[in-house]
Amino acid sequence: MNGSESSDQPVSILYVDDEPVLLDAGKLYIEHTGNFTVTTCDNASDALNLLTENKYDAIISDYQMPECDGISFLKILRGRGDDTPFIIFTGKSREEIVIEALNSGADFYLQKGGEPRSQFAELTNKIHYAVSKRKGEEALRKNEELFRGLFDTITSGSAIYEVKNDGRCGRDYIVRDFNRMALEIEGRTKSEVVGKSLLDLRPNIDEYGLIPVFQRVWKTGVPEYYPEKAYTDDKYASWYDNRVFCLQTGEIVSVYNDVTDRVKADVELKESEDYLKKVLHTARDGFVVIDGEGRIKDVNEAYSAMTGYSPEELLDMNITDIDAEETFEHTLARIESIRSRSELFETAHKKKDGSLIDIEVSATWLDTHGGEVICFCRDITGRRQAERALRESEAHFRDLFRNHAAVKMVIDPKDGRITDANPAAVKFYGWSEEELKRMRIHDINTLTPEEIDREIKRATEEGKIHFEFRHRRADGSVRDVDVYSTKITINKKTLLYSIIHDITERKQAESALIRTNRQLNLLSGITRHDILNKVMVLQAFLEFAGENCADNTRCGHLKKASDAASAIQRQIEFTREYEQLGVHEPVWLPVAALLEKIDDRQFPITCSCPEVLIYADPMVEKVFYNLYDNTVRHAEGATGISVSCRPADSAFVIIWEDDGCGVPDDMKEKIFKRGVGANTGLGLFLIREILAITGITIRENGVHGKGARFEMTVPAGAWKYE
């Protein structure tokens, strides 16, 4: 016979007494006075056998029985762990027997004698009371099991404290238990916290302001929310919020979260005070309890807000009324699966307004109230939207990649494998897309494998994006190409996205131009040689004519002719030095090394430039030589030269200055014009031309009377540190 919690089911009683007549009378009276079914037994041994096969709501036993008395019978039961309500019903009334019976676990002790009807009425009252009390204890145990399951699975830290003294300070709150999340927040193990006071764990807790909340909740039983506040001591420096409530046992429960990141991001967490009623309603995520058929049994405010339904509306619904992806049969199958193990899955729920939200569900089965699925739901709509946007972006990239007229390839920098190529690449190289995807960039680039690996490293690690290579094609031809390569990430993998331009014709034109310049330079050299020879002859005859000149007027004319010839000689010789201007490719040159090449130092040069390289025409060496020569020729009173450097936003500034007389304000720009100057008039003019080849500018901005100051500005991309 099994007891039941239903009030319609009769209370089952096992009645044990060694007097059969009393057993029959007692059974008759008890079953007649209430909703009882009585099983009788005349000795304790048989009663113990019955109890191994059946369960009863209560046991009535005589004390004095042969072989085993009522108290011994009781002790055996309690020793088995059987806590069935037990009533001693006997004629013995000695005080020591009563005390022993109650100490051994009897619920009541009732002495026989007196008027039977009233006595059995009292007995049935005691039975009702004992059975009701035991069922209440059983219900409390089941609720505690539910609480324990939720306590261990919620995503917030939960701590249970036993209260000592008057609860005025942290020392009065002794840790009974911490859940997994609380141990993670605290950075401790359970053995390090259980039995310790809150003050032991948080030395500054009394100043934090939470203890008065604990004390009020403990005294009034009314839950409270303690909003986020910074707690700091030698171990911790974080923000926490706390939700505090009191258990029926008088213990305090604090459900708390480390909200440091949320506070720093200034995101306000708004939660209803209804969350404070019990642990289930403190979770920030949506919380839903469903039974084995999918009927919604409980929800929290977060889930209500998430779906747009009120809690009352949700409690009249089945989870399949909300789930937009699973059928009723699918839901039942999932519930059956969750019985054996917890699941984490994603689905979509329908809101009251008809819109859909993407949900991540963490579901666990608990064997309470006939079995329930405990679900924590998180809105991942934003994440799903971001994923969809990423897919759309990738599709857009794919469309641009495939349909663009420029040659494009994607290369894996780890091994140089070509992972993708667009139709323009297929047309340019002459291999099919499948063939290209089986190749490495080493199969196309004419550099050695070591040189190719070095260039790939420059693209991936040093940030270089522009390259010039020579690429092979399927027909055996080799083309000059301009390559712009940048890092991209696809499926969490870093690749090189390269755009290739055919510059073969441009290179051919450049080569033709270089050959033409060389021929012109050769012609210029021959012409210059012949002119200088003629000038030398002219100067010799002019000098000879001047020695025999007796007419002052004629002598003056000869002197002017000789000076003109000398000027022609200087101009022709000057062109020899600068005929290579712009002929060679710009190169990276160290500033300090350029200054060291100035050997004739009439004035000492002090250089405070870091180890920096500039991208310039190889003739930039003449820039610093001419600046030095300019100081020697024109800086009256100068004693030295200072060269300094400094970054200026993305540019780099090189400053050449002396302590001579300086440049008049009206000449600061004119000195860079052709023909201005006491010598050839080309020195500063050519300085500006040499620098301009790679975009470097120069200006004079010194103070007249305090020295000349030439400021050269190197643009971004044309300078770098060694």
pLDDT digits (tens, 9 = 90+) for 609-636: 878 999 988 888 888 888 888 888 888 8
Phi, psi of 715 (to 5 degrees): -70, 165
pLDDT tens sequence across 14-38: 999 888 888 888 888 888 877 889 9
Which one has a higher pLDDT value, 678 or 393? 393
Residues 98 and 138 in one domain: yes
**6 in a structural domain:** no
Residue 431, pLDDT score: 95
**202 in a structural domain:** yes
Question: Domain range holding 48?
Answer: 11-144
Q: What is the mean pLDDT of residues 417-431?
A: 93
- Which of 467, 502, 537 is at the close of a domain? 502
**3 in a structural domain:** no
Residue 635, pLDDT score: 86
pTM: 0.34
Residue 272, pLDDT score: 36
* pLDDT grade for 573, boundaries at 50, 70 and 90: low
Taking all residues of the chain, what is their mean pLDDT, rounded to a whole number? 85
Residue 507, pLDDT score: 83
Residues 230 and 175 in one domain: yes
Residues 524 and 552 in one domain: yes
Helix boundaries (H) for 308-347? 311-314, 328-340
Q: Read off the tokens for 711.
A: 């400021």
Residues 167 and 247 in one domain: yes
Q: Which of 369-383, 413-427, 500-514 has the highest mean pLDDT?
A: 413-427
Q: Read off the tokens for 119.
A: 């006595």
How many domains, in total, are found in the chain?
A: 6
Amino acid occupying residue 494:
T
Which one has a higher pLDDT value, 231 or 142? 231
605 has pLDDT over 50: yes
Q: What is the mean pLDDT of residues 432-447?
A: 94
DSSP string, 586-641: PEEEEHHHHHHT----SS-EEE---SEEEEE-TTHHHHHHHHHHHHHHH-TT---E
* Half-sphere exposure at residue 635, Cβ-oriented, CA atoms within 13 angstroms: 25
Span of 139-148, 495-504, 662-671 with lowest mean pLDDT: 139-148
Q: What is the mean pLDDT of residues 530-540?
A: 77
Residues 255 and 304 in one domain: no
Span of 49-58, 148-157, 330-339, 431-440 with lowest mean pLDDT: 148-157
* Half-sphere exposure at residue 188, Cβ-oriented, CA atoms within 13 angstroms: 19
585 DSSP 8-state letter = P
**113 in a structural domain:** yes
- Which of 578, 606, 630 is at the close of a domain? 578
Residue 155, pLDDT score: 84
Residues 256 and 331 in one domain: no
Residue 576, pLDDT score: 63
Residues 521 and 474 in one domain: no
Residue 275, pLDDT score: 44
* pLDDT grade for 392, boundaries at 50, 70 and 90: confident
Which one has a higher pLDDT value, 25 or 140? 25
Residue 326, pLDDT score: 84
Residues 484 and 461 in one domain: yes
Residues 511 and 498 in one domain: no
CATH number at residue 704: 3.30.565.10
pLDDT tens sequence across 239-279: 999 999 998 889 999 999 998 888 887 544 344 334 444 55
* Half-sphere exposure at residue 446, Cβ-oriented, CA atoms within 13 angstroms: 12
Residues 491 and 511 in one domain: no
Residue 385, pLDDT score: 83
DSSP string, 493-510: EEEEEEEEEE-HHHHHHH
223 has pLDDT over 90: yes
CATH number at residue 276: 3.30.450.20
**448 in a structural domain:** yes
- Which of 379, 406, 439 is at the close of a domain? 379
Residues 168 and 127 in one domain: no
**149 in a structural domain:** no
Residues 593 and 690 in one domain: yes
**1 in a structural domain:** no
